[in-house]
């Protein structure tokens, strides 16, 4: 048994090094009254089973005037989703309902509000660039960025 113990300790260290801490799998992003996110690039460790994105609207304008959401899709899909979302309207969070192209999305929030979404990284490819954006009409031109799993 005195040989087994150090072996287990080594295994634990090796395993532990490959598991991301819970904090790394929680990401916050801000949207403001100037129609901007506070980042254009987001990345999450591939070791996260799932990640939770929290969108904080740091402005003061109401959701129907300067609402923001955080939507994730394949980069090729984001424009078609944004266009369909504009037609879907505020009541649908400016997103086409039940659209399989939407990987994850928060609801539309106004100033001072927050919303979170948790998504599984299963089925998403590492080192591929996904696009995150706000689907409020007209916002995606400024409010978009890249999302990568590293
Ligand atoms: Zn927005």
Write out pLDDT tens, residues 139-148.
999 999 999 9
Ligand 1 mean position to 57 CA, how many Å?
9
pLDDT (average), residues 1-10: 51
The mean pLDDT value of the chain amounts to 91
pTM here is: 0.86
Distances (CA, A) of 87 to 17, 91, 110, 123, 131: 46, 11, 20, 29, 20
pLDDT (average), residues 39-52: 96
Contact by Cβ (8 Å): 148, 124: no
pLDDT (average), residues 97-123: 97
Residue 7: pLDDT over 90: no
pLDDT (average), residues 83-109: 98
Which pLDDT score is estimated for 21?
A: 73
Ligand 1 mean position to 7 CA, how many Å?
52
Ligand 1 mean position to 149 CA, how many Å?
24
Residue 120: pLDDT over 60: yes
Residue 18: pLDDT over 90: no
Q: What percent of the chain has pLDDT over 70?
A: 86
Residue 23 makes CB contacts below 8 A (sequence gap 6+) with none
pLDDT (average), residues 109-121: 98
Ligand 1 mean position to 128 CA, how many Å?
24
The residue behind tokens 């799998």 is 25
Q: What percent of the chain has pLDDT over 90?
A: 83
Residue 71: pLDDT over 90: yes
Ligand 1 mean position to 124 CA, how many Å?
25
């Amino acid at each position: 048994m005195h040989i087994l113990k150090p072996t287990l300790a080594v295994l634990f260290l090796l395993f532990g090094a490959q598991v991301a801490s819970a904090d790394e799998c929680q990401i916050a992003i801000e949207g403001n009254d100037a129609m901007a996110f506070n980042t254009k690039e987001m990345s999450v460790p591939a070791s996260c089973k799932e990640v939770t994105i929290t969108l904080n609207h740091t402005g003061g304008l109401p959701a129907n005037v300067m609402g923001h959401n955080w939507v994730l899709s394949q980069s090729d899909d984001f424009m078609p989703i944004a266009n369909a979302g504009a037609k879907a309207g505020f009541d649908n969070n400016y997103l086409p309902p039940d659209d399989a192209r939407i990987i994850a999305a928060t609801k539309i929030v106004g100033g001072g509000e927050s919303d979170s979404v948790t998504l599984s990284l299963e089925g998403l490819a590492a080192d591929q660039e996904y696009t995150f954006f706000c689907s409020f009409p007209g916002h995606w031109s400024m409010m978009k960025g890249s999302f990568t799993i590293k």
